[in-house]
Amino acid sequence: MNSVLFLRLAGPLQSWGASARFARRTTETAPTKSGVIGLLAAALGRDRTADLTDLAALLFAVRIDQPGTRLRDFQTAHHADTDKAMPVSERFYLADAVFVAALAGDDTLIRTLHTALQAPVYLPYLGRRSCPPQGPLDLGVMDTDDPVQALSAQEWQASDWYREQRRRDRTVTLTILAEDTAHSPVGDMLRDQPISFDPRHRRYALRSMTSTQTEVLNPRYTPAVRNRHAPLPVPRHEPEALLSPMDGP
C-alpha cells in the first residue's frame, strides 16, 4: 500500500541549491528533492554516509503556495592568522516563501518518516543551517499513490497576509513541480536526485519534472461589495446663475 507525506516548508528564509558551487551559492525557485530528502534523512538520524536508496526512491512533488522573493546575501571572511580578507561569497535565499512538498511511497516508510518529523534526531532546516523552519513541518499523511492529485487537494498554505492580498480571488492557481515517473513524458531536468550525501563524494543524478497547475480555494475570499455607496448626486454646476443679468441690447 502507498501513501503520501506532506510537509509545509515556510520560514523567513530558505535556500535550495541544485547547482551551487564555490563562492556563488544559488537557490532554485522551489525546494529540491535532494534538500527535502536530506531533511528527512536527518530527521531519521541517518549519517551522511548512510544508504539512501529507500528515500531516494520516493516520488517527489512540490507546490509553490507563495513564491517569495529572491535575496542575494554577500558574505566576507577573514583569515584567522593574518586577518586578510578571503574571497567574498554570494549566497542566494528565497525570502518570505511557502511551499508544500509531497513524498509518495510505501506506507510503512511514510509512517516512519512522519513519526521521525515529530522528534527529529538531527534538527531540520530549509536548505541551509541558518534557515530554521517557521511552524511545524508536518502536514500529515494521506492514503494515495498520486502526489500531484494529493497536492491539489491540500488547502492553500500561504501566509495570512498573502491570502488577504488576494481576497478578491475566489480561487488561486498554483504551480506544482512533479517528478516524472519512468513511463511519463520527460520534462525539465534538474540534478537533484540524491545518490549519496557522503561529504567526500556527494553525488546527484538528473531527475526530470513536469510543471502543472492546480486551482485551490482562497479561504480569505471576500467578494467585492457592489453598490456599497449609492451613486452620489451630481451637484448642479451653473456658475452663470451667480451672475446678474447684464443690461444691454
- Site for another protein, rule CB under 8 A: 11-13, 68-69, 71, 73-75, 79-81, 88, 93, 95-96, 117-125, 129-136, 159-162, 165, 198-200
Other beta carbons less than 10 A from residue 103's beta carbon: 25
Nearer to another protein by C-beta: 163 or 207? 163
Q: What is the C-alpha separation between 202 and 49, in angstroms, rounded?
A: 9
Closer to another protein by CB, 106 or 138: give it: 138
CB 2 within 8 A of CB 107: yes
Report the nearest approach of another protein to the CB of residue 184 (Å): 36
State which H helix or E strand residue 55 sits in.
Answer: helix 53-56
CB of 23 to another protein, least distance (A): 13
Q: How far is the CB of 43 from another protein (least distance, A)?
A: 9
Measure the CA–CA gap between 32 and 127, rounded to whole angstroms. 9
Q: Closest CB to another protein among 79 and 226?
A: 79
Residue 88 or 205 with smaller CB distance to another protein: 88
Strands 89-106, 69-75: parallel, antiparallel or unpaired by DSSP? antiparallel
Distance from chain centroid for Cα 148:
15
Please, what is the minimum distance in Å from the beta carbon of residue 69 to another protein? Answer: 5
Q: Give whichever of 34 and 59 is closer to another protein, judged by the CB atom.
A: 34
In this structure, are residues 61 and 36 in contact, taking their beta carbons and an 8 Å threshold? no
Query: Closer CB to another protein, residue 73 or residue 106?
Result: 73
Give the per-residue SS3 of 145-196: CCHHHHHHCCCCCCCHHHHHHCCCCCEEEEEEEEECCCCCCCCEEEEEEEEE
Task: Quote the least distance from Cβ 144 to another protein, whole Å.
Answer: 24
Residue 61 C-beta: closest distance to another protein, Å? 24
